[in-house]
Amino acid sequence: MKKTLNQDINLKKFFKKKQPSKHGALALLIVFVAILAGIAGAIFTNFYWEKHIFDLLENQGISVIHKDTTIIEEKYLPQTTEEEKTIQTVKQVSPSVVSIIISRDVPIVEKYYINPFNSDFFGGFQIPQYREKGTEKQQVGSGTGFIISENGMILTNKHVVSEEGVEYIVLLNSGEKYPAKVLAKDPFYDLAIIQINQSDVVEGDEKSFVPVKLGDSSKLQIGQTVIAIGNALGEFQNTVSVGVVSGLGRNIVATGAGIAESLEGIIQTDAAINPGNSGGPLLNLVGEVIGINVARSTSGENIGFSLPINMAKRDIEQVKVEGKIVYPFLGIYYAPITEEISKANDLPVKFGAWVGRDGQGQKTEIAVVSDSPAEIAEIKRDDIILEFDNKKITETNSLAKIILEYSPGDNISLKILRGEEEFSSEVTLIEWED
């Protein structure tokens, strides 16, 4: 019993010693209040910096990265997004891109030998001879095109389908092959429309094709990402290359197969355009065709050219409605006057169409075509046409470009400079015939 009481007394002493004093409680309270004040200060400081200091920096033109990841996504385009759009565009458009195979009947030549002496005296001397043994189909060219209607109309370059006496075969990305015929060729631009022939298919079983979507080439921006698809080198079907719009409104002279052609207002791109790509589509990242690949520079690197799709829309609609491409015809040979031509030839103006002259200022063989609207209007060599229907003819707004806005039968007023005399003349455009 005595031992138990002593233990009880010791426990009471222990707990009595452990109880906090009034000073200790006050210290704990001060520490707690300090912690709360620190938290409140941090919150306030963070709010102040984001709402006031950041605003001040941004107003001074200094970029500030916020913690809100949503804002970052709106301001920046991750590389993976562009890649995803490229892949999606290629998958979407590739079924509508076709290879155009050009074949002709080529003689089969057999080589054989004869002994002219009909004797073994000269050791069986043999002379090679050649003879034809029928013909066989051989590929003689290739190009690219793309489907523009459900019934199999295809847009391509005119130089791809310019040969006569050949056979055109359309090869789809799926591997299907169809014969094709040429419907129409543009007389001024390097454009042509061909048609897949399904005449051998049983009626009711005709295939419906997927046409591409046509964009608006007038909205293109330099630096915009573009995709080219084509039958590269005539061997690698639906080859994809990616680049940017390097320039707009370019004027070049394209040569090939002994032909030189002036191309105005075309698109320059660094997307690879190889032989065989001609006639293929140039695409934006939403899968719209904004150009038709037409040429490349052989002296530079990554310099290719495409015709703006807006140039082709007129042809497409005319062929769908009328079955042919119709152009208005004035009937003159002329040189667009530039500042250089004006200075070199001491001309009184630096704009207009100089009748009967070429790009070097030399006289053309023919100035005005016989029985043409120009001859009826008594236009003469060395006249300078200043305006066409009150539209000023300039280097960037050429006569060839302006006249495309009109149709055969339209009555047009021309403003003409002859020597020092300026006068007006009326003409009625007619349909151009090859």
Whole-angstrom distance, CA of residue 93 vs CA of residue 369: 44
- The pLDDT, as a whole number, for residue 118 is 64
Q: Taking residues 135-139, report their average pLDDT.
A: 71
Q: What is the mean pLDDT of the chain?
A: 81
pLDDT digits (tens, 9 = 90+) for 220-255: 999 999 999 988 876 778 889 999 999 998 877 766
Amino acid at 313: K
Whole-angstrom distance, CA of residue 270 vs CA of residue 215: 20
With beta carbons less than 8 A apart as the criterion, state whether 222 and 246 touch: yes
The active-site residue out of 96, 142, 149, 159 is: 159
Amino acid at 20: P
- The pLDDT, as a whole number, for residue 73 is 43
**Would you call 55 a catalytic residue per the annotation?**
no
Pick from 140-144, 247-251, 324-328, 408-412 the range whose average pLDDT is largest.
408-412
How many other C-beta atoms are found inside a 10 Å radius of the C-beta of residue 342? 18
Nearby residues of 206 by Cβ (< 8 Å), 6 or more positions away: 151, 198
Reported as a pLDDT band with limits 50, 70 and 90, residue 199 is confident
Q: Which domains does the chain have, with CATH numbers?
A: 96-196 (2.40.10.10), 215-315 (2.40.10.10), 328-431 (2.30.42.10)
Assessment of whether the complete model's pTM goes beyond 0.75: no
The active-site residue out of 142, 149, 241, 278 is: 278
Characterize the bridge pairing of strands 304-308 and 259-269: antiparallel
Residue 430: φ, ψ to 5°: -120, 175
First-to-last CA distance in the chain? 136
How many other C-beta atoms are found inside a 10 Å radius of the C-beta of residue 162? 17
Let me know the angle formed at the C-alpha of 184 by 182 and 189, rounded to the nearest 5 degrees. 120
User: Secondary structure of the chain in the HEC alphabet?
Assistant: CHHHHHHHHHHHHHHHHHCCCHHHHHHHHHHHHHHHHHHHHHHHHHHHHHHHHHHHHHHCCCCCCCCCHHHHHHHCCCHHHHHHHHHHHHHHHHHHEEEEEEEEEEEEEEEEEECCCCCCCCCCCCEEEEEEEEEEEEEEEEEEEEECCCCCEEEECHHHHCCCCCEEEEECCCCCEEEEEEEEECCCCCCEEEEECCCCCCCCCCCCCCCCEECCHHHCCCCCEEEEEEEECCCEEEEEEEEEEEEEEEEEEEEECCEEEEEEEEEEECCCCCCCCCCCEEECCCCEEEEEEEEECCCCCCCEEEEEHHHHHHHHHHHHHHCCCCCEECCECEEECCHHHHHHCCCCCCCCEEECECCCCCECCCCECCCCHHHHCCCCCCCEEEEECCEECCCCCCHHHHHCCCCCCCEEEEEEEECCEEEEEEEECEECCC
Q: Is the model more confident about 265 or about 41?
A: 265
Q: Taking residues 128-138, report their average pLDDT.
A: 71
User: Secondary structure of 280-312 in the HEC alphabet?
Assistant: CEEECCCCEEEEEEEEECCCCCCCEEEEEHHHH
pLDDT digits (tens, 9 = 90+) for 11-45: 455 444 445 555 566 666 676 666 776 666 666 66
Residue 222, token pair as written in the block? 């330099």
135-161 burial, b at 16+ Cβ within 10 Å, e below that, comes to eeeeeebbbbbbbbbeebbbbbbbbbb
Q: Is 194 buried (19+), middle (13-18) or exposed (0-12) by CB count in 10 A?
A: buried
Whole-angstrom distance, CA of residue 153 vs CA of residue 145: 10
pLDDT digits (tens, 9 = 90+) for 299-319: 777 888 999 999 999 999 999
Reported as a pLDDT band with limits 50, 70 and 90, residue 404 is confident
The active-site residue out of 96, 142, 186, 190 is: 190
- The pLDDT, as a whole number, for residue 125 is 63
Q: Taking residues 178-207, report their average pLDDT.
A: 83
Percent of the chain with pLDDT over 90: 44
With beta carbons less than 8 A apart as the criterion, state whether 293 and 304 touch: yes
**Would you call 190 a catalytic residue per the annotation?**
yes
